[in-house]
Structure 1
């Protein structure tokens, strides 16, 4: 192994052979420990360096599961690890923004009609997607899955309007995070789906500051409007029941009323919602 490392070096400079072991914490318990302990036999070989990329807390659980809860995990790991580096937490919003740029989805969304929350502040699809990503705490892997589904849907469906895009974002989130609610959406259970989706949305909203949810009243108003044949307002019985059920404050009610006015003349209902789900299901057959 030492001589192999020398083969890759120039005559003037000896460079080490670096072996990366990634996601050790995701392996079967015994296997993770075996890999770590077998790799140790090579730690003292000249010009060989191992880099372990792992969730240290999860790896600790694996070690304790094998050797017992009373084991000093940090002491055990010091037998293998000389230097320990903690990577900084990623910025979710910037990560997703970069994903949109990677797939050129930012260009597609920029060409879509924007929506307005009021006459002063202009909201964007990026803000809405970020709100939902933060609300449902999507991991980086889940954000990648979100962007891949969105990529196929946007490239196979032309002229999705702002209402369809808003609900599309939400349906993809449900598919990734709350699949049982997502699967319940069908032509025979629209009202049940709407009630469960709104309840789930409210349950997540309670743990996030209201200032971080400025885009969500539009989503709520759309969900409430899906099964209604007529335009809604805050005085409509279905909306009044919603306000009372979740004890919405006056500020939230005012924003909801503006949203109802904004979508008043948009044609959107059960048929379009079911078609969005079909589009999402169609997308899983592709990888772009």
Structure 2
């Protein structure tokens, strides 16, 4: 069927299905991230329906996924067209674009009746446009890609007659024309659905994908889906920068994330106390020591700059360690909290405490003492922690030291 006729098969009536339960955005926002979505909304809503790619830069393990999902829901509640998409779900595939197109029609545009035949037709275009491993090389807007094609054609010229080379370039030209036709038809569908609004698509988890997939995905968006009204917001890690590394590795040092994006937004770290206390609500703790455990854990989590992911892991570990603890009080609560955190961030030093205490203590003092002392009440906290460490791990034993030494047996 002619591609240009696809648009005529599409209807845009709302589905007459029961509406899904209403989800309130930011209901579990214990980091006060909503304040940033309000600022970002002001920015993205000034985009005048032009194709735009934005990077959302945040820190690894600090709730970018939560932020993107809640931001998506907030935009929907404001009657905007928005969707969340995890690139990791298709990381194992060679070609990211076909699956992303499937997402556009079956997820993002699910509130409209698009005939199944139209969806299947777009899927079938894979055979014509997207089945080659050199997807990027078919894109006319990429000078590097076109140079690569010409270079490969030159290399093949010794093996084939010039007529064969010209025929291959002719096929390439026809495919480029098909791509332009495809984009024109897709733009008509998108334009009717969005009704003069931008479509906001949040792309998550690109940082944990394979380098080649990262570049293929970015190229697919920039060169194949550069359609008016599409606004892509791609989350990336500021501290690890796997997306940056992937671009440098595949395309060379002259390329970076700015080669694909128009501008960036920044998601800063937030105070973790409210978030941490909420996590502890589901953990059974000794009644007399509950506040001491929570307060000391928050102290060390803040001092040692634990990520949200690390905090969730440690709180869960505390719950498991104390699952069968029946006493009403836990001796040396601050030592317990510190050791749980140390075990999660530096297993080597933690294990060395039992075999070579003085050496491990020197490493702890070198790595963590300055951060503890810089925190409010850090001097007193470090002094008490040092006493408990000596009591728990030095060889001499007394009746007074037995309860503290038992902390080591609680941990696993």
Q: TM-score range by the shorter chain?
A: 0.5 to 0.7
Q: Distance in 2 between matches of 1:210 and 1:137?
A: 11
Structure 2 unmatched ranges of 5 or more: 1-100, 114-191
Evaluate the alpha carbon distance shift between residue 176 and residue 12 of structure 1 in structure 2; reply closer, same or farther with a 3 A threshold: closer
In the TM superposition, what is the alpha-carbon distance from 1:41 to its structure 2 partner?
Answer: 4.4
Evaluate the alpha carbon distance shift between residue 161 and residue 201 of structure 1 in structure 2; reply closer, same or farther with a 3 A threshold: farther
Q: Distance in 2 between matches of 1:49 and 1:31?
A: 21
Match of 1:31 in 2: 213
SS of the aligned residue for 1:44 comes to coil
Task: Report if the CA contact (8 A) 1:16-1:48 is conserved.
Answer: yes
User: Of the candidates 63, 72, 76, which is equivalent to residue 259 of structure 2?
Assistant: 76
In the TM superposition, what is the alpha-carbon distance from 1:178 to its structure 2 partner?
Answer: 1.2
Evaluate the alpha carbon distance shift between residue 154 and residue 60 of structure 1 in structure 2; reply closer, same or farther with a 3 A threshold: same
- The higher radius of gyration belongs to 2
- Where in structure 2 are the equivalents of 1:1-288 lying within 5 Å? 5-9=108-112, 14=195, 19-45=201-227, 49-55=231-237, 58=241, 59-69=243-253, 71=254, 73=256, 75-77=258-260, 81-82=261-262, 84-101=264-281, 103-105=282-284, 108=285, 111-113=287-289, 124-159=292-327, 161-184=329-352, 186=354, 189=355, 192=356, 194-203=357-366, 204-207=368-371, 208-209=373-374, 211-213=376-378, 214-226=380-392, 227-230=395-398, 265=400, 267-268=402-403, 270=405, 272-277=406-411, 280=412
Q: Distance in 2 between matches of 1:90 and 1:210?
A: 16
TM-score by length of 1: 0.63
Q: Distance in 2 between matches of 1:112 and 1:19?
A: 49
Structure 1 unmatched ranges of 5 or more: 115-122, 232-264, 281-288
Q: Which has the higher contact order (CA 8 A, sep 6+)?
A: 2
Task: Report if the CA contact (8 A) 1:29-1:63 is conserved.
Answer: yes
Evaluate the alpha carbon distance shift between residue 160 and residue 182 of structure 1 in structure 2; reply closer, same or farther with a 3 A threshold: farther
Q: Distance in 1 between matches of 2:339 and 2:223?
A: 50
In the TM superposition, what is the alpha-carbon distance from 1:164 to its structure 2 partner?
Answer: 4.9
Match of 1:117 in 2: none
Give me the CA root mean square deviation. 3.4
Task: Report if the CA contact (8 A) 1:43-1:50 is conserved.
Answer: no
Match of 1:245 in 2: none
Q: Deviations over 1:30-80 (max 9, x none)?
A: 2211121123345334665533121256122332233333x2535403xxx
Q: Distance in 2 between matches of 1:202 and 1:82?
A: 45
